[in-house]
Chains A and B, each alone.
Chain A
Amino acid sequence: MNPYTDRTLTELSEALTKKQLSSAELTRACLDEIEARDGEIGAFLTVCKETAPWAAAEIDRRRLAGEALSPLAGIPAALKDNICTKDVRTTCASRMLERFVPPYDAFAWELLKNNGAVLLGKCNMDEFAMGSSTEHSALGTTRNPLDLSRVPGGSSGGPAAAVAAGMVPYALGSDTGGSVRQPAAFCGLVGLKPTYGCVSRRGLVAFASSLDQIGPLAKTVRDAALVMNAIAAHDLLDATSVGSGEDFTREIGREIAGVRIALPEEAFGDEIDPAVKQTVFAAAKKLEALGAALVPVSMKELADALPAYYILSSAEASSNLARYDGVRYGYRSTAGGDIDALYRASRSEGFGAEVKRRIMLGTFALSAGFYDEYYEKASRVRARVCGAFARVLNDCGLILTPTAPTTAFRIGEKQSPTALYAGDICTVPASIAGLPALSVPCGSVGGLPVGVQLTGRAFGEALLCRVGTALEEG
């Protein structure tokens, strides 16, 4: 049994700083835990068995030499397999990129590496991040460590399962419509989708460029904030990068008395499992007991957010995934024929069923005759959703909702594509508005964790971390 399984990033960081523990020992313990448990969980697609101990030893050497190191130095990290790592294959859990070895690091990973993070491995996901259960991976099934018959959520299901199983102290996922927050909720973890532009998207394999954000999955809010301190920097090579430069932990520990928290009635509708609803309400009451003011609000504009999200994200995906043509990199079919046949065969053999469905939906929404009715209309919904958030967040500091309508469901339970899509109802509004949203565990139903989602103002992550920590402690 790994003696570090239950330790938080913050605790491990302290132990390393005080030299009570070496990075080599910690990294070895994590690798052993993967060896022992990942056979049944299936969180990892690639484990850096050889390079991780080497990187850990290098940090130990620097620490012993008296160098001042980052709080993340020497701590193993896992990355979702759509975050590019130089010389380490990055598959997006797709046949298309099964053998793809990136020639560069994603900026977020480059920053973590500069902070002394040790790359432990790359984690499973829904193919190209399209899904909410990790069942759409072309490379294997990931099981929820809390109940192996259930999904870990998705699309960052691998990173979430790895952290929840104690195989790694934290991981980076990516969130387009809830892909960090929902697996965090299903696995009893903290997950943060930062404000759009807060973390660079360079080297994150593109799904829907106006929505994608990299975010941390961790055991505590403070842990997630420490990771954010490292990765939220301005990147000259991502035109939408704003960065932050803030200390995301700076408000943690401050009282929450007087904070105004909005509860939109539309976010607690019939789609939400009654027991989940009750658990999330109890979390709100806990915050009220700590002095926060609960403000009932109405956000009717949220009703169309889910369909609009599927149009916008699929439209962008159909365009982004046009690059996979079997020519320059990735899978190439050996079927033969002319160049057009090569494109079509490579794409048809390389992409899985869900990716093809999304490409087809996006192609439909952008095609002549349907563009106005679908893409333009969805964009108008997006503007209205942004307006609704602006209205509510003008008066309140944050909005509290469930993270997901249910707890983790059984593998294979949701058969139709739309049954899965419906589960994204709580998370997509913040995505299409580009706002930061934090999922924090707030209890359990039938032994499975429930997450509460806190959505804040643009670049208002510090307040979310403060209120999130109050929930953890309360």
Chain B
Amino acid sequence: MDRNEKTLIDVERLALLARLTLTEEEKKTLPAEMEEIIRFASVGSTVGAEGGTWTDRPVTPKTNVFREDVPEKGLDRETFLAGAPTRTDAYITVPRVVEEEA
């Protein structure tokens, strides 16, 4: 299982993909921890890449069901905005995402 070799688990890259910032402590401990976890989660050699469907999900009905296309009243804007960490009037405020023109 050469895929489980240390060199292939780039913890800092995974953190970047997962939008996490690692502390100095985590940078030290996580590589070994993640290696152990990935080794644990590696499926044995009994299962190859043989054919057959693997995208099926158990139990869930295999036919799609649509509800009637009738408008319904959902929850109002104020209810949802009440949970926002910061807001200005009807808007959630976040750091600027577009640059000002020079």
Contacts and interface: CB of A to CB of B under 8 A. Distances in A.
Question: Which of B43, B47, B58, B67 has the largest number of chain A CB atoms within 10 A?
Answer: B58
A426 B62 CA distance: 28
Contact of A332 (B26, B43, B50, B86): B86
B: interface residue count bin: 35 or more
Nearest to A313: B41
A347 B3 contact: no
Contacts of A384: 47
A348 B19 CA distance: 8
Contact of A360 (B20, B23, B96): B20
B37 A417 contact: yes
A197 B59 CA distance: 8
Given A100-B83, A104-B75, A383-B53, A310 B30 contact: no
A339 B53 CA distance: 41
A187 to B, nearest CB: 27
Interface in A306-343: 307-308, 310-311, 314, 318, 322, 325-332, 337-343
B88 interface: no
A356 B41 contact: no
Contacts of A363: 14, 17-18
Interface string B21-41: 111001000100110111011
Given A360-B15, A374-B41, A379-B54, A103 B75 contact: yes
A433 B34 contact: no
B21 A348 contact: yes
B83 A101 contact: yes
Given A101-B83, A357-B33, A380-B54, A310 B41 contact: yes
Given A328-B83, A376-B54, A307 B43 contact: yes
Query: Helix, strand, loop or mixed for chain A's interface?
Result: helix
Nearest to A432: B58
Contact of A361 (B20, B37, B59): B37
Contacts of B17: 363, 367
Contacts of B18: 318, 347, 356, 359-360, 363
Contact of A370 (B3, B19, B40): B3
A377 B20 contact: no
A381 B59 CA distance: 16
B59 A196 contact: yes
A417 B19 contact: no
B71 interface: no
B85 A364 contact: no
A189 B42 CA distance: 33
Interface residues of A, number: 74
A382 interface: yes
Given A103-B75, A210-B57, A417-B33, A345 B44 contact: no
Given A329-B83, A347-B19, A458-B59, A360 B44 contact: no
B20 A373 contact: no
Given A103-B82, A360-B11, A377-B43, A327 B61 contact: no
Given A103-B79, A364-B34, A325 B58 contact: no
A390 to B, nearest CB: 9
Contacts of B36: 416-418
Nearest to A358: B37
Interface in A401-431: 416-418, 421-422
A260 to B, nearest CB: 22
A434 B59 contact: yes
A210 to B, nearest CB: 6
A432 B56 CA distance: 12
B102 interface: no
Contact of A344 (B21, B40, B83, B97): B21
19 contacts: A103-B80, A196-B58, A236-B67, A242-B60, A304-B44, A304-B46, A307-B42, A307-B43, A311-B41, A327-B85, A330-B85, A332-B86, A347-B18, A360-B34, A372-B49, A374-B43, A376-B49, A382-B58, A418-B36
List of 5 A-B pairs having minimum Cβ-Cβ separation, nearest first: A434-B58, A332-B85, A329-B83, A434-B59, A310-B41
Interface of A: 100-101, 103-104, 195-197, 210, 236, 240, 242, 300, 303-304, 307-308, 310-311, 314, 318, 322, 325-332, 337-345, 347-348, 351, 356-357, 359-361, 363-365, 367, 370, 372-374, 376-384, 386, 416-418, 421-422, 432-435, 458
Given A357-B33, A365-B41, 8 more contacts: A304-B43, A308-B43, A337-B95, A339-B97, A374-B42, A380-B50, A433-B58, A434-B60
